[in-house]
Chain A
């Protein structure tokens, strides 16, 4: 399957700081990437759809000013958690959809970033 990377894999930060997470599609160009959040023993919750060259589409209840998404190129999307608080501690996972699978909607996931806000 397609390869998607995330960086960093794990981050610990102080409350009030901002954290940037990168998501890269390594062997294909992705016009669309997705950001999910997963709390312990819960399912993946879609936060936003990241579209190359345009604004991200946020799911209901997700604050766009707190979770800044930038999709500057066909292989890179970034999620910035601004003014992070302990309740933002979670497992953040990105996914990307190869263009050849556009109709079939297959997504490939990055390895995830575990964020701990102290």
Chain B
């Protein structure tokens, strides 16, 4: 089992709709969880970090964490074409950050 798993996509969402990205992780001791956005040919950009169970909102982005289910998600409201990118879920593990393989999101006009 991979340490961090994501559906590779592509996930196609109409403009203005909610995009939902999911991630599961294998190590129960992980305490820090991150979502990064990566445009093609660019390095990852931190969007959200979450450390406690529940929801954390920042603008159009909401991160959700459920440690019991070892599940973290990212919701993007009012999706824009500029949101089209690969979204990387990342989890801390023994002072290192382990990345999922990423979900490619495409927002169609």
**What is the interface of chain A, defined by CB distance below 8 A to chain B?**
1, 34, 42-44, 46, 49, 93, 95, 104-112, 114
Contact across chains for B92 and A43 when beta carbons are under 8 A apart: no
**What is the interface of chain B, defined by CB distance below 8 A to chain A?**
32, 34, 36, 41-46, 49, 51, 88, 92, 95-102
Q: Please, which residues of chain A bring their CB within 8 A of the CB of B100?
A: 43
Contact across chains for B97 and A34 when beta carbons are under 8 A apart: yes
Contact across chains for B46 and A93 when beta carbons are under 8 A apart: no
B30 nearest CB across to chain A (Å) = 10
Per the bound structure, the CA–CA distance linking A105 and B92 in Å amounts to 7
Q: Please, which residues of chain B bring their CB within 8 A of the CB of A43?
A: 88, 99-102
Q: Please, which residues of chain A bring their CB within 8 A of the CB of B46?
A: 1, 106-109
Per the bound structure, the CA–CA distance linking A58 and B9 in Å amounts to 31
15 contacts between A and B (CB under 8 A): A34-B96, A43-B88, A43-B102, A44-B99, A46-B98, A104-B49, A104-B51, A105-B92, A106-B34, A107-B46, A108-B46, A109-B46, A111-B43, A112-B42, A114-B41
When C-beta atoms are compared, the residue in chain B nearest to A93 turns out to be B43
Do A109 and B49 form a contact, CB below 8 Å, given A42-B101, A44-B99, A104-B32? no
Contact across chains for B43 and A112 when beta carbons are under 8 A apart: yes
Per the bound structure, the CA–CA distance linking A7 and B51 in Å amounts to 33
Per the bound structure, the CA–CA distance linking A69 and B51 in Å amounts to 31
B43 nearest CB across to chain A (Å) = 4
Do A110 and B88 form a contact, CB below 8 Å, given A104-B51, A105-B97? no
Per the bound structure, the CA–CA distance linking A19 and B29 in Å amounts to 38
A46 nearest CB across to chain B (Å) = 6
Contact across chains for B32 and A105 when beta carbons are under 8 A apart: yes
Q: Please, which residues of chain B bring their CB within 8 A of the CB of A114?
A: 41
